[in-house]
Amino acid sequence: MKNCTCKSTKPAFPELEPVLKKYAKQKGSLITILQKTQDIYGYLPEAAMLHIAARTGVASAKIYGVATFYTQFRLKPVGKYIVMLCAGTACHVNGAAEIEEAISGHLSVANGETTADEIFTLNVVACLGCCSLAPVMMIKGPEGEETFGNLTKDSAVKILGEIALREEVAS
């Protein structure tokens, strides 16, 4: 394959073609392209960013810089459910660190990591804006977002266990 001079006729990233056809020539559209790429793949694969660079003429270093500057972008795959645990002042004071420890132990992941079965990703965030519910976590999944407040270590682990059980039954 290394010495092959033939060219494939199908695009390397067929799912991206409509996005690139619409935005590749529009000045200032890089963030939109990256957002739509992440919507398609769930994160920004390195190969997709290189493909975007080739198609748009934007330097791959600039694309990587934008992707790493904005916290909305992910460079690694995430789980089906993104668990966002608040570490803001109200949540911190009410035991968020202990809840993080319990969740990490239950899922066998640290902050920013995804479980081996790709069901959960744990993200500790600065603030979810639900201070009256502290400590709080929000879970983004295929059905949308759900917020859980007044958490304890046990209630947080129980919520995750219920989701995991639903996933087992569904598969």
Beta strand extents in the chain (DSSP E only): 81-86, 120-125, 137-141, 144-148
Question: What's the pLDDT at 171?
Answer: 74
Question: What's the pLDDT at 5?
Answer: 46
- Calculate mean pLDDT across residues 14-18: 95
Residue 137, pLDDT above cutoff 70: yes
* Structure confidence at residue 71 as a pLDDT band (50, 70, 90): confident
pLDDT digits (tens, 9 = 90+) for 27-48: 999 999 999 999 999 899 999 9
**Closest by alpha carbon to 91, among 57, 40, 128?**
128
Strands 137-141 and 81-86: antiparallel
Question: What's the pLDDT at 12?
Answer: 81
Question: What's the pLDDT at 11?
Answer: 62
Residue 102, pLDDT above cutoff 70: yes
| Chain-centre distance for alpha carbon 26 | 26
Tokens linked to 158: 């129980």
Strands 144-148 and 137-141: antiparallel
- Calculate mean pLDDT across residues 66-90: 93
The residue extents of the domains of the chain are 14-69, 81-170
Q: Please name the fold of domain 81-170.
A: Glutaredoxin (3.40.30)
* Structure confidence at residue 8 as a pLDDT band (50, 70, 90): very low
* Structure confidence at residue 130 as a pLDDT band (50, 70, 90): very high
Residue 76 DSSP class? S
- Average pLDDT taken over every residue of the chain: 92
